[in-house]
Amino acid sequence: MTVATWNVNSIKARLENVLAWFDEAKPDVACLQELKCVDEAFPREAFEERGYTVETHGQKTYNGVALLSRFPLEDVVRGLPGFQDEQARYIEALVAPKGMAPVRVAGAYMPNGNPVGTEKFTYKLAWLSAFEAHVKNLLAQEEACVFAGDYNIIPEPRDCHDPKAWEGDALFQPESRAAYRRLLNLGLTDAVRACDLSDGLYTFWDYQGGAWQKNRGIRIDHLLLSPQAADRLDSVAIHKTARGREKPSDHVPVTAMFHYETCIH
């Protein structure tokens, strides 16, 4: 089973690119962020024609998340449990392949938080705290869980082309990075780092200043795994070629491959 995360930066503006990538990569499950459309405007037919069940939590102009799956989706949750939020940033469901052990997949578009020192940064930290509490509750159920999405956090200096350039940014603040470490300390595994410890692994390149051409990127799109999901992890991939296409998103897809586990009754 392949699980993908991708901040598409407007599903309407990037639909051609997104569908081309789906046709190439054929992910079994995909978490999309920053849809920038309401549920009714999501182009679900294009994905349903490709065999996907589509669940969305949309919002006009801003935010918005979607969960797409080749397998049945059960127990769909829209909005981060335990957190009152007018912004559409979280969706979760149980992916249930026939005869196989289910996997709970969550897709999150976490707050940016800039500028630091404003209510936006306070909101970011509050959201992360609520997310941590929800993750803790899910881990107690001992399910295979994948927490995918645009975390808007650069975990370590090696996840950034130039740490000094990001010192004042909310994505690289000590509080943001500490929140990420607390998630790992709960027992989650960073799928990318479980497979590759290299420097220069990026998932986002700004549109400005030739960042893509100069490879001035950052790694902010993550797949964090519960112990039960980490035990099934086979490989990961960062699909950089998506950034080089015409009118691309500034993020690229990240995928994790898991081996199936037979359901025990």
Extents of the domains making up the chain: 2-258
Residues 6+ apart with CB under 8 A from 78: 55, 57, 88, 90, 91
Token pair recorded at residue 183: 């998630």
264 band by pLDDT with thresholds 50, 70 and 90: very low
Query: Was 250 annotated as part of a binding site?
Result: yes
pTM for this predicted structure: 0.97
* For residue 242, pLDDT beyond 50: yes
Instruction: Give 218's strand partners.
Output: 160, 204
The full DSSP string for 197-224 is: --S---SEE-SSTTTTTTT-EE--EEEE
Q: What is the pLDDT of residue 93?
A: 98
Query: Was 251 annotated as part of a binding site?
Result: yes
Place of tokens 């349903």: 48
Collapsed DSSP state (helix, strand, coil) of residue 236: strand
Query: Was 169 annotated as part of a binding site?
Result: no
Q: What is the pLDDT of residue 263?
A: 54
Distance of alpha carbon 162 from the chain centroid: 23
pLDDT in tens, 119-164: 999 999 999 999 999 999 999 999 999 999 999 999 999 999 999 9
Kindly list the catalytic residues. 109, 150, 251
Find the DSSP H helices in 4-89: 11-25, 44-48
- Domain 2-258 has what CATH class? alpha beta
pLDDT in tens, 55-68: 999 999 999 999 99
* For residue 99, pLDDT beyond 90: no
